[in-house]
Amino acid sequence: MKSRNHPTPKRQQGAVLFVALVFLVLITLLGLTASGTSILQERMAGGLRNGQMGLMGAETAARGAESWLWNLAGTGGTINCGFNGGDNGFCYAPMTLDNGSGGTIFASNTLLTAFRTSPSWIANATSGGADYTNGSNAALNASSLGTARLAQIPQYMLDYRGLVRPPGVPESGQGGSIDEDTGRGSTNQNLYSYRITARAAGGNAGAVAVVESIFGTGVPSN
């Protein structure tokens, strides 16, 4: 009877398993990179959208303030502006101070300065501005607006700049004592200048937009 010698199987080195693990790690890293890039792009798109919403909200508030002044002029109304916001509480005018040398300087209320320059949102209780609502008196932060809802109600503030002067006539002193322009005919309407500053937040209060416009109207500050 013949005997057969069966060869002993060679010991496995695990090379295939090692290569598979390497490829698995590489695929995992690619997946994580792609996921991180997608999240970053989504955040960038969200930030851009919030910024655009804030800008549109501020523009809307500024146009609303201009419309309010325009309608007030149509009825022959006046507005009281003062260093502390005037009768309405949101129309400011510089205060005339002695500069110590016989001249005058003009100082603005710190609320006005903060409203124009602060990079973050200021609560209306301390901002010194006025809330803006649209024609149907609906707040732009109402939940009924869904994805178009703003995080805060847009605000605006008026800064009285004085009588609009023709070219060549000295400036009025930014809200100081103003004399009528003798070059104007009695039938011509005087125009008074207001700087309108509007602020709005986007979908969250971290995206704040500020816009300004200079608006001439027939509404004087009494």
DSSP states of the chain as a string?
----PPPPPPPP--HHHHHHHHHHHHHHHHHHHHHHHHHHHHHHHHHHHHHHHHHHHHHHHHHHHHHHHHHHHHTT--B--BTT-TTTTSEE-PEEEE-SSS-EEEE--HHHHHHHH-SS---HHHH--EE---TT---TT-GGGGGG--SS--EEEEEEEEEPPPTTSPP--SSS--PPPTTS-TTSPP-EEEEEEEEEE-SSTT-EEEEEEEEEES--B-
Residue 189 domain boundaries: 18-217
Domain membership of residue 55 (yes or no) is yes
Mean pLDDT, rounded, of the chain: 79
CB-facing half-sphere around the CA of 131: CA atoms within 13 A:
14
Domain membership of residue 13 (yes or no) is no
Torsion-angle region of residue 110: left (phi > 0), alpha (psi -120 to 50) or beta?
alpha
Domain membership of residue 202 (yes or no) is yes
Tell me: pLDDT of 160 over 50. Answer: yes
d(CA 101, CA 45): 55
Contact 52, 46 (CB under 8 A): no
User: In the prediction, which pLDDT does 6 show?
Assistant: 59
41-45, 64-68, 110-114, 182-186: the lowest-pLDDT one: 182-186
Q: How many domains does the chain have?
A: 1
| Average pLDDT value for residue range 127-148 | 75
Domain membership of residue 124 (yes or no) is yes
Domain membership of residue 40 (yes or no) is yes
| Average pLDDT value for residue range 25-43 | 76
Domain membership of residue 5 (yes or no) is no
Task: Name the band, by pLDDT with cuts 50, 70 and 90, for residue 92.
Answer: very high
Domain membership of residue 44 (yes or no) is yes
